[in-house]
Amino acid sequence: MKLLSLDTSTEACSVAVWMDGQVHERFDLGQHHSELILTMVQQALAEAGLTLKQLDAIAFSRGPGSFTSLRIGAGVVQGLAFGANLPVVPVSSLAVLAQGVDAPKVLASFDARMNQVYWGAFARNEKGLVELQGQEIVIAPAAVPLPEGSGWIGAGNGWDQYATVLTTRLGSHVNEWRKQTFPKARHVAELGMELFKAGQTVTAEQALPVYVRDEVAAKMKSL
> pLDDT per residue over 152-183, tens digit each?
999 999 999 999 999 999 999 999 999 999 99
How many Å apart are CA 102 and CA 57, to the nearest integer?
A: 27
Does residue 196 sit in the same domain as residue 88? yes
Q: Give the model's pLDDT for residue 30.
A: 83
How many Å apart are CA 174 and CA 18, to the nearest integer?
A: 33
Adjacent-strand bridge partners of 108: 120, 155
In Å, how far are 5, 75, 131, 170 from 61, measured between CA atoms? 8, 12, 15, 27
First to last CA, the chain: 45
Does residue 7 sit in the same domain as residue 86? yes
Domain residue limits at 130: 94-178
Does residue 86 sit in the same domain as residue 187? yes
**3-class secondary structure, 111:** strand
Closest to 100 measured CA to CA, from 133, 71, 120, 124:
124
Dihedral sign (CA 185, 190, 191, 193) = positive
Q: Give the model's pLDDT for residue 219.
A: 44
Does residue 111 sit in the same domain as residue 213? no
Low-confidence ranges of the chain (pLDDT < 70): 214-223
Adjacent-strand bridge partners of 213: none
Does residue 99 sit in the same domain as residue 173? yes
Q: Give the model's pLDDT for residue 9.
A: 96
Q: Record the pTM.
A: 0.94
Q: Tally the residues of the chain.
A: 223
Number of domains in the chain: 2
pLDDT digits (tens, 9 = 90+) for 115-132: 999 999 999 999 999 999
Does residue 56 sit in the same domain as residue 100? no
**For the chain, what is the radius of gyration of the CA atoms?**
17
Does residue 67 sit in the same domain as residue 107? no
Does residue 190 sit in the same domain as residue 88? yes
How many Å apart are CA 182 and CA 194, to the nearest integer?
A: 21
Q: How many CA atoms lie within 13 A of 217 on its CB side?
A: 4
How many Å apart are CA 183 and CA 113, to the nearest integer?
A: 18
Does residue 171 sit in the same domain as residue 198? no
**CATH classification at residue 38:** 3.30.420.40
Does residue 100 sit in the same domain as residue 174? yes
Helical residues (DSSP H) of the chain, grouped into ranges: 33-48, 67-84, 93-99, 157-170, 185-197, 213-222
Does residue 87 sit in the same domain as residue 159? no
Does residue 31 sit in the same domain as residue 130? no
